[in-house]
């Protein structure tokens, strides 16, 4: 026998409607208060940092005029012409730049590989579901925080003092920063695994390394590889900046061209870097999608 729903009286219905409107009004007030606080903090940050909005607006056109200058030859018989009218003159140093670009890619690759290895070896000790020792777990997490908090260029400057100019400081700087960034991501992946296989391994008397090898790695390897590929894309761009402080790569020629106002060279170097990063992004994106689809496939 079907039960009939209780009928709402007009007073009860009005009370429910009023409660609903009050809840919606309170939610809107909270949202508006949050937006006002964020805007207020933005203005306060700008005031403390002495950001001059009038100066920003007045000189905003210079940003676009610089791009106009780097797309125009500034000397020689082709002065005043657009750079694409004479590709040979525009890319006069292509052979040298390609070698430096290859150095940049290798710096990013080697730094990514070393950082990923360090993150892989330490991430299991930072996972709360695998490492019962809170002191060791906290220590590894603080190490990861330190490595990813210090900018790569600061690490590069420190290593330049120790090892001198060249690609070694760039590789080490990228490796340390990558270890911190990937270590956090790897540890979070490990903390989200299915613990049934881990519990089964522990119940059979498996050691920590055996548990990681047979119960954890099969669940996380594809994610580890995906994050590493993503980090490689970031590190190739970062390796281009390493040259600004003398840590090798094409960045050294780029900062020299900027300082000496070689506008056509600046645009040529930027175009090479953009094309290289784009090709790497497209390639690693396809690899990441292939890994993800393989993991999701039953």
For 117, other C-beta atoms within 10 Å of its C-beta total 15
User: Do 151 and 261 share a domain, yes or no?
Assistant: yes
Residue 192 inside a domain? The answer is yes
Q: Structure pTM?
A: 0.79
Q: What is the pLDDT of residue 295?
A: 59
Show the domain range for 25. Answer: 12-49
Residue 33 inside a domain? The answer is yes
Provide long-range contacts, Cβ within 8 A and 24+ apart, for 156-163.
Answer: 156/242, 156/245, 156/247, 157/245, 159/247, 160/245, 160/246, 160/247
Comparing C-alpha atoms, which of 3, 231, 244 is closest to residue 119? Answer: 231
User: Do 151 and 292 share a domain, yes or no?
Assistant: yes
Residue 78 inside a domain? The answer is no
Residue 59 inside a domain? The answer is no
Half-sphere exposure at residue 156, Cβ-oriented, CA atoms within 13 angstroms: 23
User: Do 124 and 178 share a domain, yes or no?
Assistant: yes
Residue 161 inside a domain? The answer is yes
User: Do 41 and 152 share a domain, yes or no?
Assistant: no
Domain count, the chain: 2
Question: Residue 133 is encoded by which pair of tokens?
Answer: 């020792």
Burial group, residue 6, by CB count within 10 angstroms (0-12, 13-18, 19+): exposed
Going by pLDDT thresholds of 50, 70 and 90, the confidence category of residue 226 is confident
User: Do 28 and 116 share a domain, yes or no?
Assistant: no
Task: Name the β-bridge partners of 229.
Answer: none
Contacts of 90 (CB under 8 A, 6+ apart): 73, 83, 84, 264, 267, 268
Give the mean pLDDT of the chain. Answer: 86
CA geometry: angle 116, 193, 235, nearest 5 deg: 20
CA geometry: angle 188, 193, 199, nearest 5 deg: 125
Comparing C-alpha atoms, which of 152, 170, 147, 136 is closest to residue 250? Answer: 170
| pLDDT > 80? residue 2 | no
pLDDT, one tens digit per residue, over 38-79 is 999 988 888 888 887 788 788 877 878 888 888 888 877 878
User: Do 127 and 252 share a domain, yes or no?
Assistant: yes
User: Do 45 and 168 share a domain, yes or no?
Assistant: no
User: Do 41 and 120 share a domain, yes or no?
Assistant: no
Residue 152 inside a domain? The answer is yes
Q: What is the pLDDT of residue 10?
A: 65
Residue 75 inside a domain? The answer is no
User: Do 45 and 97 share a domain, yes or no?
Assistant: no
pLDDT, one tens digit per residue, over 180-216 is 999 999 999 999 988 888 888 888 888 888 888 888 8
User: Do 157 and 210 share a domain, yes or no?
Assistant: yes
User: Do 152 and 218 share a domain, yes or no?
Assistant: yes
CATH at 158: 1.10.3720.10
**Averaged pLDDT for residues 213-239:** 88
Half-sphere exposure at residue 111, Cβ-oriented, CA atoms within 13 angstroms: 37
Residue 198 inside a domain? The answer is yes
User: Do 105 and 42 share a domain, yes or no?
Assistant: no
């Amino acid at each position: 026998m079907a039960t009939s729903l209780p009928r709402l009286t007009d007073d009860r219905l009005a009370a429910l409607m009023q409660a609903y409107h009050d809840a919606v009004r309170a939610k809107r007030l909270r949202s508006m208060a949050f937006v006002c606080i964020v805007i207020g903090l933005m203005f306060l940050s700008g005031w403390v940092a002495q950001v001059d909005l009038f100066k920003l607006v007045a000189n905003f056109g210079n940003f676009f005029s610089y791009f106009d200058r780097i797309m125009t030859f500034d000397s020689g018989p082709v002065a005043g012409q657009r750079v694409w009218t004479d590709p040979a003159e525009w890319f006069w140093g292509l052979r040298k730049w390609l070698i430096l670009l290859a150095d940049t890619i290798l710096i990013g690759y080697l730094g990514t590989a070393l950082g990923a290895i360090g993150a892989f070896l330490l991430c299991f000790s930072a996972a709360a579901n695998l490492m019962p020792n809170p002191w060791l777990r906290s220590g590894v997490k603080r190490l990861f925080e330190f490595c990813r908090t210090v900018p790569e260029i600061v690490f590069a400057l420190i290593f330049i003092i120790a090892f001198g100019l060249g690609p070694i400081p760039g590789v080490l700087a990228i490796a340390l920063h990558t270890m911190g960034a990937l270590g956090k991501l790897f540890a979070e992946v490990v903390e989200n695994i299915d613990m049934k296989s881990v519990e089964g391994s522990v119940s059979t008397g498996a050691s920590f390394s055996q548990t990681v090898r047979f119960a954890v790695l099969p669940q996380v390897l594809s994610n580890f590889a995906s994050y590493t590929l993503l980090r490689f894309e970031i590190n190739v761009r970062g390796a281009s900046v390493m040259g600004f402080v003398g840590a090798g790569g094409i960045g050294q020629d780029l900062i020299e061209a900027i300082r000496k106002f070689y506008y056509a060279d600046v645009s040529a170097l930027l175009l090479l870097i953009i094309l290289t990063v784009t090709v790497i992004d497209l390639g690693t994106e396809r690899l990441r999608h292939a890994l993800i689809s393989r993991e999701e496939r039953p």
